[in-house]
A and B are shown apart, each in its own frame.
Chain A
Amino acid sequence: MVFTSLSFFIFISVILILYWSTGSRRIQNIILLIGSYFFYGFIHPWFCFLLGISTVVDYFCGLGMKRYPEIKKRFLVISLCSNLGMLGFFKYFNFFIENVNAILIWIGVGSSELALSIMLPVGISFYTFQTLSYTIDIYKEELTPTKNFIDFALFVSFFPQLVAGPIERAQRFLPQIQNKRTWNTESFFSAIPLMIWGFFKKLVIADNVAIYANKVYLLESPTPIMLFAGTLAFTLQIFADFSAYTDIARASARLIGFDLIKNFNAPYLAVNPSDFWRRWHISFSTWIRDYLYIPLGGSRVDTHRKYIFVVVTTMGLSGLWHGASWNFVLWGFFHALILIVYRMLGKAGRWRPQNILSKCFSIAVMFFIIVFSWGLFRTHSVSWYFERSLSTPLGFGTDSLLPASVIVAFVFLYSSPLLISFKRNRIIGKSNFRLSVVCGFLIFLISIFGRDGSSDFIYFQF
């Protein structure tokens, strides 16, 4: 069930009516749990089975760790193996086989015909990380496991963030499930502008700039300037698309009295690589930091070599999480590279711009680096991407510069609402009148500029 579909509106309307018609926290949680499984099963019924397995395994592993602390490591291993095993099988099996085949062919042994037609369960990367945070926190004795199966199952399957995050931590989210939710008019109605803004970003900004990005990346031999323009379009597309999903997810959660973590904080205003990862996909980057980067040693390792190993491993796996394809891995390695270079040049990561000029300069440099990295993410072939980026002529002729200028102009046009949104407090203030005018105007723009046949959210594929 896609957020931008009529079926979702009907679904959430029914949920809201049922949910707020009862004051019982227990019944509310049951309604949400059934609703969440219905939401997920709408995509494909058997996905619920996998979700259920993950839920049951981690529920009992959590309780097991508490009851038998002497063998808690075994429970953790069970949780890790089952969750990562399922993720590995459904997401990476064919990728693994393809690469084994490639090696076998290269060494002249032949190839295996083992590739399976495996359907990737939507959201598996997200809910796997979410449940793992639960069991790992229990293992670290930072969290007490819940005995209430309904509460835990809801934590895993909570529909607003099930399919594409944000990845919630049990320490933050489970108490919200376990506590009573009271109706708050202001909170409820504040969700509506957030939802409208999310739909606007997806249907107007992301889906329209996607056309330009897709066209450029279909070209056989784009010039570097054309490729830059297409990648710039993709840079806007991926931010608008993913942040839109988060906004709609947060708004949906707010309607039922939950507060989901913010996933973005103006990522393209980052002043250095570390800053970017504090602003982009925050729930994922903090998960990686807390459960991978820090346990491996983090920034406290005593040698450069160890640091490089930690960063390359962390970012490589981060890339791989995004998809079973080498371009995602190389995207992760590229970010590792810029993090390493920044640490070496930037006073061990402590450098900050000292004045407005250096801040603008560092934002601009970071932005171009990020744009380049998104090209690695978007491309079908890394070698093609590098070859086209370094090709000559650069594309200053009319045939290349003119279409590229058009694309850049539209990127600026479609990004202008995002830039204006920084001043929203000044524009709207506390005025409900102004807020409703702005929301009405956004709905109007969605109805005019929203693309027919809107595409799936990009992060659904992860």
Chain B
Amino acid sequence: MINKKLNYRAILSTFLGLVVVAAEILFLDGYLRKHIADSPQSVQHYTKWISDLETEKPDILFIGNSITDGGLDEKELSIKLNKKVSKVAIGGSHTAWWMLYIKNVILNSSYKPKYLVIIFRRNILTLPELRVKGRYYRNLAPLMTDDESLLNNLAYKRSLSPLEFFLYENFYIFREREFIKKQIEDWVKGKISLLFSNDKSLANKTIKKVFSTSHFDMQRLRKSQDKEEKILDSEQYDFNLAVESSFLPHMIEMLKNAGVKPIFIASKMRTSAKNHKQHPNYKDYFKDLRKYLNNKNIPFYILASDKRLQENHYADGDHFNEQGREIFTNIIQEKIEDVFSKQN
């Protein structure tokens, strides 16, 4: 039996309540849009990257994330290769960032490097939606132009529900929420810092020091990173299925049109150094990736089986320590020289 009596007053007051909230959100959105837009960005604007590229004029440009940033000594490499080597390595960046860099920096620059070396891990080349939301959005935003349909279609629309995508596209608050949250957290930390000293940033500095990976129990850290990697592992490890809906073909096409030769290097993870079991499709994935790149005459190197990188060369699950950095740089040098020799 259905109770057909409707409480019109309840419906009206509910509707009014929601209208009030929506109005407040729109007002706040406009207010924050005006104020946040002027706040310091996490990375420089793409026009600055263009300017840097045109100034430095590297022969070989490395692109990657914190693994490359901490693991590659580009100055040492420059000396050993006798070439101008630069690197653009933003922590947490993955293919979305690298694609934007190629599209909005390299293609728009009057100077094009001869080689672009992309250092990546696992199957992230075919995971376009990885690290594009939350705090990673702030890394991407300065590289974006007004038209980023490729990014939206391959990354955001795939990782956001239609409602989330609508909110993302139309509400500044939603896009910048990690930044807003961080501002509030920094405000709280600043207040607490003042209880200890005059330095408002003391809390942030102390937290960074205390919670650095060197203070973590490596085994537990590995387990928690393994848990995250299982999340990665449950993603697409079927290369042929994933490649066409990834940024990879677009990146290769753009570089080809710009006359830049790409080189891909798959870095070695600590799990490989410890001979941990990888995802069951790991070997097939890389076999298919190699075939794909070979068909396009693109050099590709996999460091997973390189025995020179041992477990004690890692600071944590992904990043090299000082010793590892030296060995990694030497290995990269070797691979680049191999590319040169094959081309001669």
Contact = CB atoms under 8 A, between A and B. Distances in A.
B340 interface: no
A215 B14 CA distance: 41
B210 interface: yes
Nearest to A443: B21
27 contacts: A183-B3, A184-B3, A215-B211, A217-B220, A219-B215, A219-B216, A219-B217, A402-B207, A403-B206, A403-B210, A405-B195, A406-B188, A406-B192, A406-B203, A409-B188, A409-B192, A433-B13, A433-B16, A433-B17, A436-B17, A437-B17, A440-B17, A440-B20, A443-B21, A447-B177, A449-B177, A449-B181
Contacts of A399: 206, 209-210
B14 A403 contact: no
B13 to A, nearest CB: 4
Contacts of B255: none
Contacts of A452: 133-134, 178
Interface of A: 6, 23, 182-185, 189, 214-215, 217-221, 226, 380, 398-403, 405-406, 409-410, 413, 431-437, 439-441, 443-444, 447-449, 451-453
B43 interface: no
Interface string B187-227: 01100110111000011001101110001110011001000
Contact of B196 (A402, A443, A453): A402
Given A23-B1, A402-B206, A406-B192, A219 B21 contact: no
Contacts of A440: 17-18, 20-22
A370 B176 CA distance: 37
A402 B203 contact: yes
Nearest to A450: B177
Interface string B1-13: 1110111011001
B150 interface: no
A305 to B, nearest CB: 40
B25 interface: yes
B173 A448 contact: yes
Interface residues of B, number: 50
B3 A185 contact: yes
A185 B209 contact: no
B211 A403 contact: yes
* Interface SS, A side: helix
B20 A437 contact: yes
Contacts of B188: 406, 409-410, 413
Contacts of B173: 447-448
Given A402-B206, A409-B192, A435 B14 contact: yes
A220 B216 contact: yes
B1 A219 contact: no
A441 B17 CA distance: 10
Q: Which 5 A-B pairs have the closest CB atoms?
A: A436-B17, A440-B21, A433-B13, A452-B134, A432-B13
A437 B25 CA distance: 12
Given A185-B7, A406-B188, A219 B211 contact: yes
A398 B10 CA distance: 54
Contacts of B195: 405
Given A218-B217, A398-B206, A448-B181, 19 more contacts: A189-B10, A219-B216, A220-B215, A226-B210, A399-B209, A400-B210, A402-B196, A402-B207, A406-B192, A406-B203, A409-B192, A410-B188, A413-B188, A436-B15, A437-B20, A440-B22, A444-B21, A447-B173, A447-B177
A444 B2 contact: no
Contacts of A402: 192-193, 196, 202-203, 206-207
A155 to B, nearest CB: 24
B167 interface: yes
Contact of A431 (B5, B13, B167): B13
B220 to A, nearest CB: 5
A184 B4 CA distance: 9
Contact of B207 (A217, A403, A453): A403
B180 interface: yes
A380 B220 contact: yes
A406 B188 CA distance: 8
A42 to B, nearest CB: 15
Interface string B65-92: 0000000000000000000000000000
A459 B18 CA distance: 33
B157 to A, nearest CB: 13
A214 B14 CA distance: 39
B196 A218 contact: no
Contact of B21 (A183, A226, A441, A453): A441
A185 B6 contact: yes
Most buried by B among A219, A405, A452: A452
A409 B194 CA distance: 14
Contacts of A433: 13-14, 16-17
A53 to B, nearest CB: 28
Contact of B216 (A218, A403, A406, A409): A218
Contact of A432 (B17, B20, B193, B221): B17
A226 B215 CA distance: 13
B179 to A, nearest CB: 11
A400 B197 CA distance: 15
Nearest to B210: A403
Contacts of B13: 431-433, 436
B1 A183 contact: yes
A406 B189 contact: yes
Given A402-B196, A444-B25, A218 B20 contact: no
A300 to B, nearest CB: 45
Contacts of A453: 134
Most buried by A among B3, B167, B196: B3
A182 B2 contact: yes
Nearest to A219: B215
Nearest to A455: B227
A406 B211 CA distance: 13
B257 interface: no
Given A399-B206, A435-B14, A452-B134, A218 B224 contact: yes
B161 interface: yes
A46 B329 CA distance: 49
Contacts of B285: none
Contacts of B206: 398-399, 402-403
A28 to B, nearest CB: 13
Interface in B120-177: 133-134, 161, 167, 173-174, 177
Contacts of A215: 211
A436 B2 contact: no
Given A399-B210, A402-B202, A406-B189, A436 B3 contact: no
